[in-house]
Structure 1
């Protein structure tokens, strides 16, 4: 059974068929999904989903581009809610310089604060890093993030950066981008990295794999990613499913 470690099923793209889709996943080879918060609102949505669906786990946190909303009261709310038995990570948190808002210093401040929160509540982190490779790594090293653990979501850098995170014990989240024609760098990373540190993710409704690129993504598209990993690694698809399922449960500290 497949474990989708990063999804956004609270997104409005699923308004019309969310119930039907989530309840049918187990009959289509998907054992579990982690729904990931990116703001206080989507973290609230995530808490509702984990209560409603037995196959959905959750992560709560504030995405770098949303950190302008954070204050002590909201950080305390995240702290309190992290005690929920189906909240398995703090995330997605990190740095995103693609849009450069809010300003970088605000992003950095709340990235550090949320890393500290994860350490305090003893949960792994889900890291979002776009166009901010050096600053993300510098902060994570300064904060001794290897003691916290977690996953680099939608990994998008090269082998050298991958090596840094793998040496820190982090997992790399691999999804639909791996199937894109221009994903040469990512294919090299997947070939290089140990399967023991690879987890599957969709980031749905975004980043649907080929041949469905450009459409709404869901966990049902993961077999295309599995097929690509299988070809790159030269191992059977069943082994990719089994190993990544085991990795996901280890990442999120599930029994």
Structure 2
């Protein structure tokens, strides 16, 4: 039994066959999923999907690429939705220095606002990080994010940053890149992160794992991620599956 802790079933890529995708996941023993909403279009659909399926949950936040578009009304909307019984986290949020739609100072301000919100409603946060690791860790430390903790989504950084994340009550989530032949960093992390702080995800429809790299990703493929991590850690796949699922329940505050 696996928990895909970060999936975008609300993406347009799944508009034509979402039900089939979900049923394939269930058939592959991916029994739990967290659908991530990150803007005005994807948040309502994340909630709608979570309401339809007992074991699918939602998180709500504002993506850093679109930080410049967030209004005070949007932030209030996210706060209102945080009380929904199927919402388990605030995010994804963070910093993205790869794209230039939103200036860095705007991204940082929106990031801080969402951390404040998460602390106000006492919910974990999901971090999006692209080419901004040191700023993200600094802001999390300055804002005392350890009070709520959360998830470093699709971690793809040097293992040297892991202790700082763990110290702030964050879990390390790994996705498709851990299976890529030319991606040594996730492999090092997979082997070294404490087992009780490790999560698995797909980030579908993005970052499909080998041998499906370059194709549309889907939650059924999280099994490939878990199998690779078990291999890297030289441990039993079932043990890894059970522990990462327990970890997901713990961070999201879901009764096991």
Do they superpose with TM above 0.5? Answer: yes
SS in 2 for 1:202: coil
Other-structure match for 1:193: 193
User: Counterpart of 1:150?
Assistant: 150
For 1:234, the equivalent position in structure 2 comes to: 234
- Cα shift readout 1:35-93 (whole Å, capped 9, x = no counterpart): 00121221111111111222210000011001111111111111111100000000000
User: Mind listing any 5+ residue stretches in structure 2 that lack a counterpart?
Assistant: none
Matched with 1:5 is: 5
User: Which string of whole-angstrom CA distances, capped at 9 and with x for unpartnered residues, describes residues 169-225 of structure 1?
Assistant: 210110110000111111111111111111010000000000010111111112211
1:180 is aligned to: 180
Q: Which moved more, 1:38-47 or 1:80-89?
A: 38-47
CA–CA distance in 1 between the matches of 2:237 and 2:152?
Answer: 23
Instruction: Give the structure-2-normalised TM-score.
Output: 0.97
- Matched residue, 1:136: 136
The 2-side partners of 1:242 and 1:154 are apart by 20
- On the 8 A contact 2:24/2:220 being kept in 1, the answer is no
Distance 1:136 1:40 in 2: 24
**Two-structure CA RMSD over aligned residues (Å):** 1.0
Q: Alignment length, in residue pairs?
A: 255
Report if aligned partners of 1:31, 1:55 keep a CA contact under 8 Å in 2.
yes
- Secondary structure of the corresponding residue to residue 173 of structure 2: strand
Structure 2 distance, partners of 1:26, 1:83, is 27
Contact persistence 1:95–1:111 (CA under 8 A): yes
Counterpart Cα distance in 2 of 1:214 and 1:99: 21
SS of 2:203's partner is coil
Please give the alpha-carbon distance, in whole angstroms, between the structure 2 residues aligned to 1:25 and 1:178: 20
Q: Distance in 1 between matches of 2:18 and 2:183?
A: 30
Deviation at 1:24, TM superposition (A): 4.6
- 1:78 & 1:224 partners in 2: Cα distance? 33
Show the counterpart of 2:39: 39
- Structure 1 runs (4+) greater than 2 angstroms displaced: 23-28
Secondary structure of residue in 2 paired with 1:40? coil
After superposition, the C-alpha distances for 1:3-58 in whole angstroms (9 at most, x for unaligned) are 00000001111111102222453232011100001212211111111112222100
Map Cα deviations across residues 134-169 of structure 1 (whole Å, 9 max, x no partner). Answer: 111110000011111100001011011112102222
Which runs of no fewer than 5 residues in structure 1 stay unpaired? none
Match of residue 213 from structure 1:
213
Is the 8 Å Cα contact of residues 40 and 61 (structure 1) preserved in structure 2?
no
